[in-house]
Amino acid sequence: MFTRHPGNPLLRPPAVRPSRTDLEVIGTFNAGAALYQTETLLLLRVAERPTNTPPGEIWCPYYEAGSLQFHVVRRDDPTYDTRDSRFVQNVQTGDLWLTSISHLRLARSRDGVQFMIGDTPWLLPTTPEEAFGVEDARITAMDGVYYVNYTAVSQYGIATALVATRDFVNIERLGIIFPPANRDVTLFPQKVRGQYVSYHRPMPGMFGRYNIWLATSPDLVRWGDHRRVLEASATGWESGRVGGGAPPILTAQGWLSIYHAADRSDRYALGAFLTPVDEPARVIARSRTPILAPEAPYETRGFFPNVVFTCGAVVQGDTLRLYYGAADETIALAETSLSALLSSLLP
């Protein structure tokens, strides 16, 4: 179905200038995508970690009042569980600290393949709810405004926040739109029946699988009318979780959504589903097998192996260009015919 670009991965960590001299970039992945004027824009997630830390210590970065701080944990401190390289956890309080921190970075391209990556962050963690990073931007254009929702991570949990921009320079913050634990939000590019619509993915903890829900809003800030849309399966490639990927794409057949699914081994693949234009909670066709699964070396090896994960696609004519994070480390591109993708979905 999809053809991977021969230049993949398009964007790798060495191409990204760190936001500070005491940090190194370990991942550039999970990018929101949009067509803006004559360019393709990506909002990259850039993950960084401190360099030159003492071998016996783990320095966990976080932002406080706009300033980068480090929570230092000694590797031999029995209060902390340090076995997972991605985080440390205080076993007495349960408090978690991440070993890396993400911000959003703008990249721009005339051909959608060769990208100029900004030298400085586009959005840095600012609020207390973003102290551990901002991740996984999705871009939705409506009436000349580009809405960017992203994951805000902190000691308060994983939430979804929203900002708006007209020019990708001036940014207006609209706050937390889905409280913890909720991520993988995809905002529709137009109202349905007079309301804004988004898919969201609550994380219900020990009760319940990770399913895709729909919500509606009068103002993009207050969301409700929650309904389930797509559920993780009991077995197979969708048995671990499902969650929103690229924001829904309006087609002649209805709303096309490309989403991610993981199995119980945390292998992340992509699927697609279709809903009527005026009934975005009702799935009328979907992929029974992945439309893209980790197979290329840069997908099966990396920071977190066996992951393809999208936050954005752009459509020009019948061509759908899918930008996706590979192995939580790089950005790759795959293309398909929109009509062929739609035809492949089964009722």
Question: Which residue ranges make up the site for a copy of itself (CB under 8 A)?
Answer: 89, 93-96, 128-129, 153-159, 175-177, 179-182, 200, 202-209, 211, 213, 215-219, 221-228, 234, 239
Q: Hey, is 280 helix, strand or coil?
A: coil
Min CB(116)–a copy of itself separation in Å:
34
* Whole-angstrom distance, CA of residue 345 vs CA of residue 265: 25
SS3 readout for 18-82: CCCCCEEEEEEEEEEEEEECCEEEEEEEEEEEECCCCCCEEEEEEEECCEEEEEEEECCCCCEEC
Please say which residue, 299 or 328, places its beta carbon nearer to a copy of itself: 328
Residues paired with residue 44 on neighbouring β-strands, in sequence order: 105
End-to-end CA distance of the chain: 18
Min CB(163)–a copy of itself separation in Å:
15
Q: What is the sign, positive or negative, of the torsion defined by CA atoms of 63, 312, 17, 326?
A: positive
Min CB(145)–a copy of itself separation in Å:
18
Q: Hey, is 236 helix, strand or coil?
A: coil
Please say which residue, 228 or 301, places its beta carbon nearer to a copy of itself: 228
Please say which residue, 62 or 168, places its beta carbon nearer to a copy of itself: 62
Residues paired with residue 236 on neighbouring β-strands, in sequence order: none
* Whole-angstrom distance, CA of residue 265 vs CA of residue 241: 11
Min CB(16)–a copy of itself separation in Å:
26
Please say which residue, 89 or 344, places its beta carbon nearer to a copy of itself: 89
Please say which residue, 89 or 126, places its beta carbon nearer to a copy of itself: 89
Please say which residue, 200 or 321, places its beta carbon nearer to a copy of itself: 200
* Whole-angstrom distance, CA of residue 84 vs CA of residue 183: 22
Q: Do residues 320 and 3 touch, judged by C-beta distance below 8 A?
A: no
Please say which residue, 183 or 260, places its beta carbon nearer to a copy of itself: 183
Min CB(259)–a copy of itself separation in Å:
17
Please say which residue, 65 or 252, places its beta carbon nearer to a copy of itself: 65
CA 302 to chain centre: 17
Min CB(91)–a copy of itself separation in Å:
12
Q: Do residues 140 and 133 touch, judged by C-beta distance below 8 A?
A: no
* Whole-angstrom distance, CA of residue 15 vs CA of residue 47: 13
Which is nearest to 113 in space by CA: 314, 272, 301? 314
Please say which residue, 180 or 189, places its beta carbon nearer to a copy of itself: 180
Min CB(312)–a copy of itself separation in Å:
24
Min CB(99)–a copy of itself separation in Å:
14
Min CB(291)–a copy of itself separation in Å:
25
Residue partners of 208: CB distance under 8 A and separation at least 6? none
* Whole-angstrom distance, CA of residue 287 vs CA of residue 273: 6
Q: Do residues 292 and 227 touch, judged by C-beta distance below 8 A?
A: no
Q: Is the bond preceding 272 in cis, omega lying within 30 degrees of 0? A: no
Residue partners of 67: CB distance under 8 A and separation at least 6? none
